[in-house]
Structures are given as structure tokens and as C-alpha cells.
Amino acid sequence: MLVAADVYRPAAIDQLTILGKKVGVPVYSEGTEAKPSEIAKNGLKEAKSKKTDVVIVDTAGRLQVDKAMMNELKEVKKAVKPTEILLVVDAMTGQEAAALVGAFNVEIGITGAILTKLDGDSRGGAALSIKEVSGKPIKFIGRGERVEDLEPFYPDRMAQRILGMGDVLSFVEQAQQVMNQEDAEELQKKIMSAKFNFNDFLKQTKAIAQMGSFSRIIGMIPGMNKVTPAQIREAEKNVKFMESMINVMTAGMYNLHS
Ligand SMILES: Nc1nc2c(ncn2[C@@H]2O[C@H](COP(=O)(O)OP(=O)(O)OP(=O)(O)O)[C@@H](O)[C@H]2O)c(=O)[nH]1
């Protein structure tokens, strides 16, 4: 169950409700008038009555650390006694992220961090500092806006990324998820015998799109970290254009070569 305890950002509750619907998880909310610690406590009670295993309480985020927020978080912690307290930090803020994790760890006592926006320009050097500053592990990383883009954190893969060596293991794993071995062999045969048509091309681009955003895929390929975000955006636009062109063709047109 998800519990909406961010009462400050007006859209936060709606955002969580939409997310809950999308992933098929109930969302507990009490609007914006109640106290976050009360909402968290009532949410937990509701979850227990429904025999729910996992409860995630979404609390408010701020760019700056302030005393009132820390006190509020302490109250939430006291009210629900969570097994995990995870701080979400944006990798784009660089070393700021590490300082934030340090401050939260001293004040609240977190159990780990979630490092998001690793699909952006940052290589993720903050990952090193987070562990150094707080001694707390990174448990998940975010590589895009979709639910599937939130992944468990693997230190060795992150080290390769920081060194600019890509992340071939994640790349292979994700490619396997969107395409099975038989399809891949079939495709290889078609390419070898020059029978690869627009239909196959479309299938390929759709499979790649399922692996995540272009920037995320490119970031995993060794040596590709020099491609700029502008170049990626341009490539994405071109692929969409090609897809539309193929979609308006008739079957006879794209089968000309097969
Ligand atoms: N590209 C990218 N966008 C992300 C990632 N994680 C979150 N976002 C986007 O960043 C925006 C803010 O994310 P939220 O989940 O609303 O952030 P939040 O931490 O709940 O915000 P507060 O709690 O109000 O601080 C949304 O548009 C997300 O889709 C990520 O890993 N990569």
C-alpha cells in the first residue's frame, strides 16, 4: 500500500494516486489538512487490517534541509517505526546529493538512499560520496521516468559507469527481457539473407523503446557516454518520424524487398 503523506505539494497526492492505479497498488490518503504523522499512522492501521505486507509512506521533499521538515519526519518515524527509511536524491545535484544524505542520516537515521536521474548527464559520482559521507548504502537507482526505470543498485556496474565503461551487464539483461532468443536468431537470419524489411525494423525499434529511454540505453553502451543529450533527442525524433512513415505505408510497400 502507498500512503500519501506529502501534504504540501498540491499535486503530490494525485500523482501518487495515479501511480498506484498504474501499478495496481492501493493508495491511502486523507487530503492535505491532516498531519503527515497521523496520515502515516492511520495508513499503517488500514494496511494491517487489509493484511498488506508492504507499506510505503511518501513524505514531502524539499530542496533545502529545514528544521520543521526534520521534526515532521521524526514524528512520522515515531508513528510508524519503519523497517527502511530511504532518502531519494537527484544525481544531477552532484556532490550536493551526498551532503543531503549526510544531513538526513544524522538527523533522522536513514537506512539507505535512492539515487535518481542517472539517465541525465551525470555519471553518478555522487554514488561514491553518498556511501563515504553517510556510510549508508544506495539501494535503488532511477534511470528514467517509468516505473521499470527504477532498478536495484549494483555497485560494480556503477563503478564501470563512473569510469565511462558503460554497463554491458544491465544492457544484456534488459535486451533479454524485451526479445527472446528465437526472435533474435530469426532476425539474424533475415539480416544475413537480406530479407530484413520495414516491419522487422519497426519491431526492433519497439523492442528498444521497451528497454527505456534512448539516453538510458546509450549510457549502458561502452564508449557512448560522449553522445550529447541534444544528439539523443535528435535521434529519438528521427526514429519517431521513421516509425510514422512506415506506419502509413501499405503492406505491399514495405514488403517490396522480401
Ligand atoms: N529522467 C528522469 N526523471 C525522473 C527520475 N526520477 C524521477 N523523475 C521525474 O522527476 C520529476 C519529479 O519526480 P517526483 O517523483 O515527483 O519527485 P518527488 O521526489 O516526489 O518530489 P518531492 O517529494 O515533491 O520533492 C517527475 O517528473 C519524475 O517523472 C529519473 O530517474 N530520471
Nearest atom of ligand 1 to the alpha carbon of 59: 23
Write down the pLDDT at residue 64: 63
Burial category of 42 from C-beta neighbours within 10 Å (exposed 0-12, middle 13-18, buried 19 and up): middle
Ligand 1 pocket, mutate which of 2, 145, 216, 232 (most atoms under 8 A from CB) = 145
Contact 160, 219 (CB under 8 A): no
> How many Å apart are CA 210 and CA 241, to the nearest integer?
18
Nearest CA to ligand 1 atom 9: 145
Contact 165, 222 (CB under 8 A): yes
> How many Å apart are CA 115 and CA 153, to the nearest integer?
9
- Report CA(141)–ligand 1 centroid distance (Å): 12
- Report CA(219)–ligand 1 centroid distance (Å): 19
Q: Is 90 helix (H, G, I), strand (E, B) or coil?
A: strand
Asked casually if ipTM beats, i.e. exceeds, 0.85, the reply is: yes
Ligand 1 environment, Cβ below 6 A:
6, 9, 12, 15, 60-61, 88, 116-117, 119, 142-145, 149
All three cell numbers of 153, joined, read 543498485
Enumerate the β-bridge partners of residue 27. Answer: 2
What element of type H or E holds 71? helix 67-80
Write down the pLDDT at residue 242: 85
The domains located in the chain, with CATH, are 2-165 (3.40.50.300), 176-254 (no CATH)
Write down the pLDDT at residue 258: 47
- Report CA(21)–ligand 1 centroid distance (Å): 18
Q: How many of the other CB atoms lie within 10 Å of CB of 220?
A: 24
Buried b / exposed e over 175-212, threshold 16 CB at 10 Å, is beeebeeeeeeebeeeeeeeebbbebeeeeeebbbebb
Ligand 1 pocket, mutate which of 117, 141, 217 (most atoms under 8 A from CB) = 117
Per-residue confidence of the chain (258 residues) as pLDDT tens digits?
A: 999 999 998 799 999 999 999 999 999 999 999 999 999 999 999 999 999 999 999 999 866 678 888 899 999 999 999 999 999 998 888 778 888 888 889 999 999 999 999 887 666 778 778 888 888 899 999 988 989 889 999 888 877 777 766 677 777 777 777 777 787 788 778 877 877 788 888 888 888 777 777 777 777 777 776 777 788 888 888 888 888 888 887 666 555 554
